[in-house]
Structure formats: structure tokens, C-alpha cells
Structure 1
Amino acid sequence: MVGLELENRGSCNGLGEGAGGQSSEEDVIFEQWVQDIRSELVTMKGRTEAEKQLYNETLNRAILGYEEDRGKLLAVIHDLVSKRRLTGRPPRTSGYTTLPEAIFAEIIGMNVLELVLKHKEGLEEIQVVGRQIFEVRGGNAIPSAYALPSVRELERIQQNLVLFNNDTLNPRKRWAEVVLRDGSRVTMTGFGFTAEPTLTIRFYTVKRFDLAILASAELATMNHRMEQLIRCLIHSYFNLVVIGPTNSGKTNLIKAIIAEMDHNERIITIESRFELNLKRDFPYKNIVEYEIDEEDPRHSGLQAFKLALRQSPKRICHAEIRDEDANLYVRACTRGHEGSITSVHVSELEDVPDAITDMCMLDGRGMDPLRLTKRITAFVTQIGMEMAVVHGKRKIVRIVEYRYENEEVCVTELAVYDKSTEDWKFPGKLSQPASRKISKADHEGHALLMKLGFIEKEGE
């Protein structure tokens, strides 16, 4: 990267040691130079808030391996070294032959993570625990061929990231996060909060969101028959719920669904941290995005929902239903905000209505759980989708319709992925109420679903 090559796994690891494990005078001087230039980089900010944000973004992107930004920072460090008239060679343990490169590696470099970043194609996450490194590709975490030389090196990288964001990671605050404008996110924890320091870099890799792309042979998240079903469900304003483990593709599916919605319909998103970034990906849509903080009553999920419901939303996209705001989301879905979508953290689609009921009951109000489950099944969880990683590919493994009959939740499987045949089966059909809802909202879609076998033909 920008001409910097690691000569061994121990390079870029801070102070070198002389004979007997003692730091040499050259090492001490080099460390002082590093601290001085690091301080100057921190203070070299623009005059306006926008300029400061852009500068911090450049520093962060340089640390995270973005070539253009690394080149800019290396040039800045070259200038600073020249202006200060620093001379001499870097410590032998740094692995570099020029002083600017050695200083760059200490301030900006990520040690052996540099080698991981050289193969960024298909790289979704880098996960570091202590010295151990995992690479996430295709939704699967696999041990990296590299390991950090020491836990101290991980802590150095952490401190550089928080320093350039005016944040802290210390015994009083043992975690920090960095979010880049392109959606990439860095989450860090320190000793005392986790058993070992951790660093998770989640890259923003997807640029286009479209049901047809997810149904392509390359991605095979669904097939074209399922694509038509989901498109019709969106146009007919069914309330949808998505489940699946981390990195299974839930966010990409939700975005592909939102891409299909009418551009002029007001969509409101409520998240504990901005991850969907819909306005960035769909700048032409009528979207209002809320980022909530449950520790601050003035900006909690409760307050966000209160304001959101006064902003004439057509659909509500709630990143994940949690205990605090379950009642509010249920209330929104039952008061006319059809076509909304959320995710729930459960293991099976069958557990979704009961899980949301349990969350609603936690607020202490005297509610009838059976009546509440009936309302949730009818108005909140009309259609459920389950995501999973199968043979390295993210797939919709189930699509179901929820109904409430005979005092219990009934689940009809509309699509199921069969691992033995590596294809989908379509065992069930939509209920009569669902068929009538589709016919009213999307007559052409109703005819298509009847042709595809999702709706019973008249007389059958």
C-alpha cells in the first residue's frame, strides 16, 4: 500500500528493543518524533466543521487501508519530516528504510492487518481478538494466516483510531466506535469490558440493492419465483419481518425491499445506530432517519416514535424490535402504517409473534397476552422471511405467512430452501384474506401469483 511493504510479522510494532531487551537511545528519539508528528496530525484540522469532519475521515480511511487517503497522509508526513529537518534512520525493528515511512507505519499502519487489507476484494469484516485475526468473506469468519505480534500492537491501533475522532478508550470508557461516511464501521473494546481487547472492522461493500440482483445466478439469494412473490407483497402493503444470524444478509434484503417501494412514499427509519443509511443509498426517496439513544430520554426510541408518527409516515422501517419500543412498533402497524418492515432476534420464524408479545408485556401494563398475540399476528407479522448462509452464499431459506386461528399462531410455508436439492420448494399457498388484500392493491400481481401457484385458482 502506497509503497509500504512489511518485511516481517513483527514490523510496525512500536518501540524497538536493544540488547538485553532495553530500548536504545535511537528508539527513544524515534518514539518522540512519532509522538510529535502524531500530535501535529491531530491538530491539523480545517476551519469549518465540514473541513474538520473531512480531515478526520481522511485519517480514519488511511488507517483502514484506503489507498488514496494513505497516499495523502504519507505525503503530509514527508512534508512534516522535512520541515522539522529530522534526520537519521528508523529503528531496525521497524522494518522500514526511510524515516517518513517508519513514522507513517507507526501512526497510520495496522501491522499485519496491512497484509489482510491487500486482499480486500470480497472482504466484509476483519475481526481481531487479542492477537488472533479472523477474516469474514461470504458471511463466514475464517482464521487469518496472520496474527498480531502482541496485544499492545492492537491497543496502539485502537488508540490511533480514537485519537483521530476526539474519543477515548481507557479504564473509564472501555469501548469506542468509528463510523465512516461510506458506511464502514469500527467497533473496539478494551481490557475490563472484554477479556481481551477487540477490534472489528465492518466494511461497506454493497453499492446496489435490487430484488432482481438478489435473484441473479451470481448471488442466488432467492429465485425469480420468490422475487415475484416478494415484489407483490411489497406493493400490497404487507407488514414484513426478517430474521437471521449476523452477516446472513438481512440488511441487504431489507434495502432491496425498500428499493422496490414507491419513491414518493414517506419512509421513516428508527435505529440505535445508523446502519441502513437509506438516504445515502436512495437519495431520491422521501426518507426520514432517526438514530436513538436509550440512555437519553430526549432522544430515546419512545421519543423517536412519537415524533415519527406525527411526520405522516406511510411505512416504518425499524432496524430491530427491542423491548423498549415493541409496543410502539405494534401500535404503528395497527394504526394504518401498512407495508412496514422490521427484524427480530429469534431462532425460528415460529417464535416471532410470541417474542414480540413478550417484549410488549415488559412495560408493566395489564394486557391480555392472547389478545396481544392475535393482534401482532394479524397486523405486525403478516409475512416472515428467514435468512441464512448456505455453502458460503446468503439465502432466503424460508418465507411464511402468519395467521391466527383457533386461539393459536399458524404458519404456512410459502417457500423453503431444500439443502439436499440445493433449490427451493413451494409447499403452501397464501390464505384467502391475503389473496383478497393482494387483489385489491395489485390486480396484475394477483394474477401473476395465481399463475405461479402462490394463490389458489377460483374453483379449486
Structure 2
Amino acid sequence: PSAGLGAPLISPPLAPVKAGPPPAATLLATDNRRSESYYETKGTVFSALIEAIDLAQLARLDADAAREEIRDIVNEIIAIKNIVMSISEQEELLDDICNDVLGYGPLEPLLARDDIADIMVNGSGTVYIEVAGKIHKTGIRFRDNQQLLNICQRIVSQVGRRVDESSPICDARLADGSRVNVIVPPLSIDGPALTIRKFTKEKLTLEQLTRFGSITPEGGEILKIIGRCRVNSIISGGTGSGKTTLLNCLTRYIDDDERIITCEDAAELQLQQPHVVRLETRPPNIEGEGQVTMRDLVKNCLRMRPERIIVGEVRGPEAFDLLQAMNTGHDGSMGTLHANSPREALSRMESMITMGGFSLPSRTIREMICASVDVIVQAARLRDGSRRITHITEVLGMEGDVIITQDLFLYEIIGEDASGNLTGRHRSTGIGRPRFWERARYYGEEKRLAAALDAAEIADESLPR
């Protein structure tokens, strides 16, 4: 018997299938048309297709030619077996089978849509998507858990990883940089759970974030100066708050002649500069050996003559190595971490270093953080689904045993409009000369910085109190 319709006939998908995205309404409705009889028909056609097709020859064709070949054979099978279907049902069946053979099965229509931020599959019968910050249930389903598992294995095998009972958790990425997490039974009770954080094909810029209201034009200008002037920055925020997007935006202002090295668990940063080296961690193999941790990567970076080191996500003892790098001539290094406020981000960095087994006094760790981190940019996802940059905060130094910070920009929530969307405003705190002023002057950016700070104060004065 077949291992499910998603069985990896050809290990790599030849290319994303160019099926046009169906309208949102179609996907958000419960899919009543996909009855058991539809899956039985599809199973019959699929089995006949496996017997009729030469997989070795199919693997040599490009995506479009392979798709046409499959369509021709499926049409013949439908005619020979006298399967009664309307033209639209036949087209739907053809698309489904092509997606199963060449791509990622039922996920293909969702991957083709550019408005989806997350795809969450909870077992074979339940698929949720996030659109515009809100989560919706779709009518997409898989034939069974085996088909879903086969598609998960196909995804992770693209980046040389595996997921099975002996290694049930896996992080991977799609060809377009979308981040994938898979957890399978026995850890996931109701069948494989697959989560895809999709990347938009169009790279977001600070100008677009300004248009969306995530930051004011003046705040955006200050972020550009922070990116350009090699200010050591940490981007802090909760899950799904837009940290990686914001990090991608900041890196656009790095000069083209700088050597940048990125370290990530699953490579998802999309840097535009010509001189970039991308490094990725590696999980242990089946014998439990060969693991390469984030700490190993950051330590190795220091021997690669980097000018900037960018860590996709700081979540453990690599925080110590990143701080060391920031403090030893690799100015302008950046990283993201999970925290709900700038103050909490500093505490989390301290606890990460402590948990890494470094027996350093608390004051020493704090002094190291102060000497290394210049700016914390806080991102947040609000309850209406909108994403805002809520703080641009400078780290000033120590007073006693406490780290002193000052906010340059803050976001204040004012209320809620008739549609349930939160209303708020960004305001400048009136700081006229931030701590990185001298660095901005060194890079010839002090006039732009002064103009942005002045404009922010004028804009703030015009706001209703």
C-alpha cells in the first residue's frame, strides 16, 4: 500500500508549483467539497499514476515539463477508468496530484499566497493561517497523518536534516527563507505539528514600516542612522512581533564594503550587501555527535575577520560571545532576543550568561552589557494584530549596581476605534543629544540625526495632549 499521497516520490520538489492562490474566502470556509469519495478517487488515480510514470525520467524534467507530463497521464487515467468528473473537479484533482508529486501537497495554495504570515498545521485535519495579524482556520486538510509526515520529511531533507521518532523535533527552512518547525509523534499527540513562518517575496523597508504606522518618519530616520553608524544594537520583542523583519530593515543601511557574518539556527536573514557569509547551526546526528551550537559559530566568527556579526536570535550562552565581539572592535553588531521591554532584555541577557555556566559576579556581567550594547529597539505585536516599534532606548551606563537607560522614542496606546483597532502615537522624549552622537559625527551623520530629533520634537508638540 502507498505510504500516503505525500510520499516523497522525488526527494526535492522541482520548484514551487505555479498554481494561482485561491481567494481567501475559499480557504477560510470549511472545505465540505473534499469528501471521502474525493480522496478515494484521488487515491485510485494516484496509484495508477505511480505504476504508469517513469520517476527517473520525470526527475530529469524541469518543473513545467514535469507538470505537463503528469497532467497528460492523469487525464488518460481518468478517461480509461471512466471516472465521471466536471471540468473544474478534474482541474482541482490535477492540481492536487501535481502538488503532491512535485511540491508540498495541500500546503502549496497557502505557500503561493503572499498575504499569509504563518501557517500552522495541527495534525492532518486542522490547518490555521495568520493573515493581517489575525489567526483563521482554513478548509485545507491532508489525507492522513502519514501524508503530513511525508511532506514534513520532504521539507527538512532539503536542508540535510531529518525528523522521525528518534529525532522528533526539527528546525528547517524553505527555499525562499521561510522558517519551518516540525514536531512529530510521540511528542506531538495528535499527529505531526508543522509551523511555517512565511517570508514575503517583497523585502520590507523602513519606509514601508513608516507607512504601516510601525514607526514615525523621524524614528525611522534615527533607525537608519543607527544601522549606518555601526551602533551595537539589540532588537527585542515577543514571538511574532517582527524582530527579524526589523533586523532585515536595519541591515539595509550597512555599507556595501563591510564584511558581515550572520549566525542563525535556520538561515532566514535576507541581507542585500555583496560581502556576506551566512552560517547555520547543526543538530546532532543519530549517534548524538556532530552538533554545532550557536556559541561555536559566534566563537568561530571572531577568526573570520568580520566587521559586523549578526546573530539571528540570542537565546543562550552565545550572548557572552556576542557581547565580547561587540566590545572588541566589531562595532555595529546586532542580534535579536525575546523580551517584553528594553529593561527585561537587559535582564534576559544577564540570565543567559549566568545560565551558560560563567561564574562571573553580577556587577561584572552588567558592566560588560553596558560597555557592549548601545541601543535596544523594542518591537511588539498588539492585541489587534498590528506591529509597532514601542521603544528606541539607549544604554547609558551603571549607577551603583543598576544599568541606566534612556528612551529616545516611545509608543503610547491612546484607545480603540470603532473597528476594534488600537489607536496610539509615537512620541519623542525630547532627548536632544543621544549618547551615540559622537559616533554619528564620526560617520558624518550628526546633521541628519539633529534634524530627525528636532523634527520629532516639533511633531510631538503638534500632537494633542
Same fold (TM over 0.5): yes
Structure 2 unmatched ranges of 5 or more: 1-18, 415-422, 458-465
Q: Cα deviations across residues 333-359 of structure 1 (Å, max 9, x unaligned)? A: 111111111111222221122211222
Q: Give yes or no for contact 2:119–2:197 (8 Å, CA) kept in 1.
A: yes
Equivalent residue letter for 2:450: A
Q: 2:405 — aligned with what?
A: 411
Match of residue 48, structure 2, among 12, 20, 33: 33
- For residue 240 of structure 2, the aligned residue among 247, 250, 257 is 247
1:162 equivalent to 2:146? Answer no
Partner of residue 360 from structure 2, selected from 357, 363, 367: 367
The answer (yes or no) to whether the contact 1:290–1:304 under 8 Å persists in 2 is yes
1:434 aligns with 2:423: no
Number of the residue aligned with 2:276? 287
Residues in 2 aligned to 1:449 and 1:113: alpha-carbon distance in whole angstroms: 45
2:461 maps to: none
Q: Which of 400, 422, 425 is residue 423 of structure 1 equivalent to?
A: 425
1:392: which partner in 2?
A: 385
Structure 2 distance, partners of 1:105, 1:289, is 31
* Residue 191 of structure 2 is aligned to residue 189 of structure 1: no
Aligned counterparts of 1:75 and 1:339: Cα–Cα separation in 2 = 50
Tell me how far apart the structure 2 counterparts of residues 261 and 242 of structure 1 sit (CA, whole Å). 16
Superposition pairs for residues 240-279 of structure 1, below 5 Å?
A: 240-278=233-271
Q: Tell me if the contact between 2:311 and 2:334 (Cα under 8 Å) persists in the aligned partners.
A: yes
The letter of the residue matching 1:153 is D
Displacement of 1:105? 6.9
Structure 1: which amino acid aligns with 2:310? C
132, 138, 142: which one pairs with 2:136? 142
Alignment pair present for 1:227 and 2:220: yes
Given the superposition, is the C-alpha separation of residues 198 and 366 from structure 1 closer, same or farther in structure 2, using an over 3 Å criterion? Answer: closer
Could you tell me how far apart the structure 2 residues matched to 1:191 and 1:430 are?
57
Q: TM-score, normalised by structure 2?
A: 0.75
TM superposition shift of 1:194: 1.3
Deviations 1:137-163 (A, max 9, x none): 12332333x263xx7535414424535
Query: Following TM superposition, by how much is the alpha carbon of 1:73 offset from its aligned partner in structure 2, in angstroms?
Result: 4.6
Q: Which residue of 2 aligns with 1:445?
A: 448
CA distance in structure 2 between the partners assigned to 1:35 and 1:177 by the alignment: 31
- State the one-letter code of the partner of 2:237: G
Q: Is contact 1:176-1:189 (8 Å) kept?
A: yes
Contact residue 152 and residue 182 of structure 2 kept, 8 A: no
Contact conserved, 2:370 with 2:395, CA < 8 A, in 1? Answer: yes
CA spacing shift, 1:328–1:15, aligned 2, 3 Å: same
Report the count of equivalent residues.
411
CA distance in 1, matches of 2:107, 2:33: 12
User: Structure 2 CA distance, aligned partners of 1:13 and 1:378?
Assistant: 64
Alignment-derived partner of residue 213 in structure 1: 208
Query: How far is 1:374 from its partner?
Result: 1.6
Show the counterpart of 2:144. Answer: 153
Whole-angstrom distance in 1 between the partners of 2:290 and 2:52:
41
Measured in 2, the distance between the counterparts of 1:368 and 1:322 equals 20
The change in CA–CA distance for 1:274 and 1:393 in structure 2 (over 3 A counts) is same
8 Å contact kept, 2:45–2:77: no
Correspondence for 2:199 among 193, 204, 210? 204
Q: Secondary structure at the match of 2:40?
A: coil
Deviates more, 1:245-254 or 1:258-267: 245-254
Report the 3-state secondary structure (helix = DSSP H, G, I; strand = E; otherwise coil) of the residue aligned with 2:59: coil
Match of 1:306 among 290, 299, 302: 299
Instruction: Give per-residue Cα distances to partners, 1:115-156, cap 9 Å, x unaligned.
Output: 7678x2512222121322222112332333x263xx753541
Identical residues among aligned pairs (%): 20
Runs (5+) with no aligned partner, structure 1: 17-26, 59-70, 455-460
* Helix, strand or coil at the partner of 1:229: helix
Q: What's the RMSD between the two structures over aligned residues?
A: 3.8
The 1:159/1:13 distance shift into structure 2, 3 A limit, reads farther
Cα distance per residue 1:278-318 (max 9 Å; x no partner):
2xxx1x43111111125365743333223321222111111
Q: CA deviation at 1:389?
A: 2.6
Pair 1:445–1:96, CA change in 2 (3 A) = closer
- The answer to whether the 8 A contact 1:214-1:220 is kept is yes
In the alignment, is the contact (CA less than 8 A) between 1:13 and 1:153 conserved in 2?
Answer: no
Alignment of 1:76-115 (within 5 A): 76-81=69-74, 87-90=80-83, 96-97=89-90, 103-104=97-98, 107=101
Deviation digits for residues 211-233 of structure 1 (CA, Å, limit 9, x no counterpart): 223222xx222111101211222
Alignment of 1:336 onto 2:338:
no
Alignment of 1:66-85 (within 5 A): 73-81=66-74
Superposed displacement of residue 373, structure 1: 1.0
One-letter identity of the residue aligned with 1:333: M
Q: Secondary structure at the match of 2:116?
A: coil
SS at match of 1:124: strand
Write the distance in 2 (CA, Å) between the matches of 1:114 and 1:440: 50
Q: Quickly say closer, same or farther: Cα 1:329–1:31, change in 2 above 3 A.
A: same
